[in-house]
Amino acid sequence: MAIAIDMAGPAVTAPAGTPPQPELLVSAALHLMSHYSANAAQAGPCLKLASVIERHLKALASHGDLNPVLRATCQQLSEQWAAVVDQALPRPSRPTLFKRFVGGTRQPTR
């Protein structure tokens, strides 16, 4: 069973700019987390899915109608998922001495 997930849009949209119901956000976050876990076992971790999970948790952490303990938990989890996303991002590689020499890139002198 394949599920289409809109990675580019906001976490969850609600009519007339009102915040979505917290139950809907919790349900969506749990659903996304279960797919992340299942997909990671089969195809490896998915950066986009982790990013969407982090956005859902961040939205929950700032939701005024949520219990303060649950908001704090969502804030902590949001930070943990942000770290997962950050670690999965590709890092720019430093040019080797040979590449700098051939490419003419000079390092600033001190």
Q: Check whether 43 has a pLDDT greater than 70.
A: yes
The residue ranking higher by pLDDT, 84 or 20, is 84
Give the whole-angstrom CA distance, residue 47 versus residue 81.
10
Q: Going by C-beta distance under 8 Å and a sequence separation of 6 or more, which residues neighbour residue 82?
A: 54
- The alpha helices in the chain, defined as continuous H runs, are 22-43, 47-61, 68-88, 97-103
**Span 35-56, average pLDDT:** 86
Per the document, the length of the chain is 110
Q: Check whether 78 has a pLDDT greater than 80.
A: yes
- Give the pLDDT confidence score for residue 7 in this predicted structure: 42
The residue ranking higher by pLDDT, 106 or 59, is 59
